[in-house]
Amino acid sequence: MRQLSRRAALLLGASGAALTIAGWNSDAFAAAKDAADDIAKFTGGKTAEKGKVSIELPEIAENGNTVPLSIAVDSPMTADNYVTDVLVVADGNPRPGVATFHFSPLSGKAEASTRIRLATTQNIIAVAKTSKGEFFTAQKLVKVTIGGCGG
């Protein structure tokens, strides 16, 4: 729980959004949950449209244990049209769920930053849900390397 609150605090400090952290699975041998299932559950089976969501992540991680992640959704964030939640999944982690960010019109901007852990090279997928029931998505491949032979 200490890790959860530290991350949550970091996030709140950055953007004022609330956060639910999925956490790193304590059972390392648990089968990897399919990221697509998580997304389907989040969207209720709807297909998310590409666009509006931007993900800021390095192309190659400097340290897979703590990769800086920022997400932003292009939204007016008014009472009748705002981003309610953003789901972030990592499709190559033992458990794909990374975080769900919760927003309200009072958030002002649908932006959040945190640091995530990546076990291996994989896609990070963000899906945003709006108050109008729309879904938008973006993804980015982050490479986790052994490193050491460049130059």
Partner 1 sequence: MITRREVLQVGAATAALTAGGAFTRAFAQQRLTEAELLRFDPLGTVTLLHVTDMHGQLMPVYFREPTVNLGVGEAKGQPPHVTGKDFLKRFGIPEKSAAAYALTDQDFEALAKSYGRIGGIDRLASVVKRVRAERGADKVLLLDGGDTWQGSLGSNRSKGQDMVDCMALLKPDAMTGHWEFTYGEARVKALIDGLGFPFLALNIRDTEWNEPAFEPMKMFEKGGVKIAVLGQAFPYTPVANPRWMMPKWSFGIREEDVRANVEKARKAGAQLVVLLSHNGFDVDRKLAARVAGIDVILTGHTHDALPEAIAVGKTLLIASGSHGKFVSRLDLDVAGGAVKGYRYKLIPLFSDVIAPDAEMAAMVAKVRAPFAADLKREVGRADSLLYRRGNFNGTFDDLICAALLKERDAEIALSPGFRWGTSVLPGQPITVEDIHNATAITYPQVYRTAMTGERLKEVLEDVADNLFNPDPYYQQGGDMVRCGGLGYSIDISKPIGSRISGMTHLKSGKPIDAKKEYTVAGWASVNEGTEGPPVWNLVERYIAAEKTVRVTPNTSVKISGV
Cβ atoms of 84 and 102 closer than 8 Å: yes
Q: Which of residues 121, 123, 131, 139 is near partner 1 by CB under 8 A?
A: 121
- Stretch near partner 1 under the rule CB under 8 A, chosen from 22-30, 39-47, 57-65, 101-109: 57-65
C-beta of 105 vs 119, nearer to partner 1: 119
Q: Are strands 97-102 and 135-142 parallel, antiparallel or unpaired?
A: unpaired
Smallest separation, CB 120 to partner 1 (Å): 11
Q: Quick one: which segment of 39-47, 55-63, 98-106, 127-135 binds partner 1 (CB under 8 A)?
A: 55-63
> Distance (Å, rounded) from C-alpha 64 to C-alpha 76?
34
Rule CB under 8 A: is residue 92 a binding residue for partner 1?
no
Applying the rule CB under 8 A, the residues between 126 and 145 that interact with partner 1 are 141, 143, 145
Rg (CA), the chain: 15
Q: Which of 16, 23, 68, 105 binds partner 1 (CB under 8 A)?
A: 68
Whether the CB-CB separation of 28 and 95 falls below 8 Å is answered with no
Task: Compute the Cα dihedral for 98, 145, 70, 73 and give only its sign.
Answer: negative
Note whether 13 binds partner 1 by CB under 8 A: no
Strand residues in the chain grouped as ranges (E): 18-21, 49-50, 53-56, 67-73, 83-90, 97-102, 110-116, 122-130, 135-142
Find out whether 142 and 57 touch, Cβ atoms under 8 Å.
yes
- Asked if 65 interacts with partner 1 (CB under 8 A), we say no
Among 34, 37, 49, 56, binds partner 1 (CB under 8 A): 56
Binding residues for partner 1, per CB under 8 A? 56, 58-63, 68, 113, 121, 141, 143, 145-151
